[in-house]
Chain A
């Protein structure tokens, strides 16, 4: 009798996880379906963009819509280069983004090193003061900044977009300082005793240690500059001076009247593709870096 109860007990204990497992699997199927539908909504507009860019005019205005055009034509991808200053747009965007991120990363990581590992008077107060400026929204600064650059004749050049960035990026400083707090101070003390100068400590010890974090931050910053629109629209007037984002916006403004959507979409795909490739290559580092910044931030 007692045995039986014991066995029955055992059975019920055993039986429960099985049914729960099953329930879990059914839930997972629903979740998977839900995520897949969401994913379709995420990519559909982008696929639509690519699809439009290779369509002929008849297919663009076909009802019901054609997802895979009967005539796939890449002619618009050849045409865009002569229809607007796309090439100079790409090179201008590259000049701004590369200069700012390379030099700005050096200044930012040096500052992060000082704020986290060197002792000096006012360290915390200076850091708080610097970081408080993040609170000031750009629209409040853009008018005086514009007048400032205008008075030294920098309007309609890339300099107003480049120069401020060279002084460093506060988010990068903040993030790297956080990252460096896990590096033991004893490493630095040991290097000092070995007679390393502070510059040597930075590039021989600190920089190699924070390289992964720096790389992720640099990529994010690069993307931000590449995709920036408000800064360029304020400063750049001549077509050949404009960055890529402005060039494609002007494509949109000029060719929408002629309903040349394949041309506009082709130019937009070209503007989108570089960052998409960068993201695909570095997605692991980028996603990790974002996740950390959110949890710690």
Chain B
């Protein structure tokens, strides 16, 4: 008895040793900064002078700041790419799941934009969106459409960014769907066919429910990622676009914090964004739970 407890204690000591690094990392680079961000958001923190406590002033200002609302609207608008990407990716994955020749080649091709550096991709698309000589407008000219100056136009800059985001993320979503589709037993479809179900019914009653967990995963990760969009904006529209129409929340936070040194104010915005992401994720989990319950 004593021997086992001694062995157990040795094991425990080693276990704590092995998890020490990530745990310290968590404390130093996540917990302490988070607490400090919360503290800082209640002050007039500017990185130089004293941090004076100003109560809820920053948060009040956030919700009266038209630029914050604009950035929030832009960020949400650009999330329209998420459903577009999901539908396209599911269609592509269903096509790839038929076992046609060239499947692995297609998989690789669609995945190349995913692994490509977002900075290089943004530079490339900025050039592709060039009003006079860009690839996009030259392509549109072939079918007789005169394309706009995409990134300089308030009504086209966000769609332009959405198209690029869908293009870049499509391969990742498609791959997740393909993996999910491949795990659906073929017998389900055979049974449905024997029962006289057509292709659309099979899709509705078998495919969609079977890929639901992956869809949930994709939606949650895409919203978390989409809420933090920054690099594309910074590279393609360094000033936040015409009339600030492509500035995202993180872009605005970055400008306020590292351009104007309004660190307290920027921290308050970052916390609002964090809370927003948290609530959206929570709602997603609740919806997911409820639907799974309905299915039983």
Contacts and interface: CB of A to CB of B under 8 A. Distances in A.
A139 interface: yes
Contacts of A111: 18-19, 21-22
A119 B14 CA distance: 10
A261 B253 CA distance: 31
B53 interface: no
Contact of A294 (B92, B180, B253): B180
B21 to A, nearest CB: 4
B120 A229 contact: no
A145 B29 contact: yes
A159 interface: no
A170 B100 CA distance: 38
A118 B11 CA distance: 7
A123 B228 CA distance: 32
Contacts of A60: 133
Contacts of A249: 119, 123, 234-235
A130 B274 CA distance: 17
A290 B126 contact: no
Contact of A139 (B15, B167, B228): B228
**Which of B7, B34, B119 counts the most A-chain CB atoms under 10 A from its CB?**
B119
A139 B270 contact: yes
Nearest to B22: A168
Interface string B182-211: 010000000000000000000000000000
B179 A295 contact: yes
Contact of B176 (A31, A139, A264, A291): A291
Contacts of B125: 45
A64 B19 CA distance: 60
A38 B96 CA distance: 12
B73 interface: no
A126 to B, nearest CB: 7
Interface stretch (B54-62, B106-114, B154-162): B106-114
B72 interface: no
Given A39-B109, A126-B19, A294-B180, A141 B127 contact: no
Interface string B94-124: 0110101110001111111101111110011
A108 B228 CA distance: 25
A45 B95 contact: no
B32 interface: yes
**Which of B141, B172, B218, B274 counts the most A-chain CB atoms under 10 A from its CB?**
B274
Interface string B49-79: 0000000000000000000000000000000
Given A167-B29, A272-B120, A294 B238 contact: no
A184 interface: no
A258 B282 CA distance: 49
Contacts of B178: 291
A139 B273 contact: yes
Given A52-B127, A60-B133, A294 B141 contact: no
A114 B15 contact: yes
Contacts of B109: 39, 42-43
A233 B258 CA distance: 10
Main secondary structure of the interface of B (DSSP, over half): helix
Interface string A19-48: 000000001100110110011011111101
A12 B14 CA distance: 70
A65 B135 contact: yes
A275 B138 contact: no
A144 B254 CA distance: 13
A141 B37 contact: yes
Interface string A217-246: 000000100110110011000000000011
Contacts of B142: 64
A129 B26 CA distance: 9
B82 interface: no
A127 to B, nearest CB: 9
A276 B116 contact: yes
A264 B135 contact: no
Interface string A235-271: 0000000000110110111001000010011001101
B273 A137 contact: yes
Contact of B234 (A41, A129, A233): A233
Interface of A: 27-28, 31-32, 34-35, 38-39, 41-46, 48-49, 52, 60-61, 63-65, 107-108, 110-111, 113-115, 118-121, 123, 126, 129-130, 133, 135-148, 150, 164, 166-168, 170, 173, 192, 198, 202, 223, 226-227, 229-230, 233-234, 245-246, 248-249, 251-253, 256, 261, 264-265, 268-269, 271-272, 275-276, 278-280, 283, 286-287, 290-292, 294-295, 297
Interface of B: 7-8, 11-12, 14-16, 18-19, 21-26, 28-34, 36-37, 40, 47, 91-92, 95-96, 98, 100-102, 106-113, 115-120, 123-128, 132-133, 135, 138, 141-142, 167, 170-172, 175-176, 178-180, 183, 213-214, 217-218, 224, 227-228, 230-231, 234-235, 238, 249-250, 253-254, 257-258, 263, 266-267, 270-271, 273-274, 277-278, 281
23 contacts: A27-B98, A45-B125, A61-B133, A65-B138, A111-B18, A120-B16, A140-B34, A140-B274, A141-B37, A144-B32, A144-B37, A144-B267, A166-B21, A198-B18, A223-B115, A229-B231, A248-B123, A249-B234, A251-B123, A283-B111, A294-B180, A295-B213, A297-B217
Given A45-B125, A108-B22, A268-B123, 6 more contacts: A39-B109, A65-B135, A120-B15, A144-B33, A248-B120, A271-B117
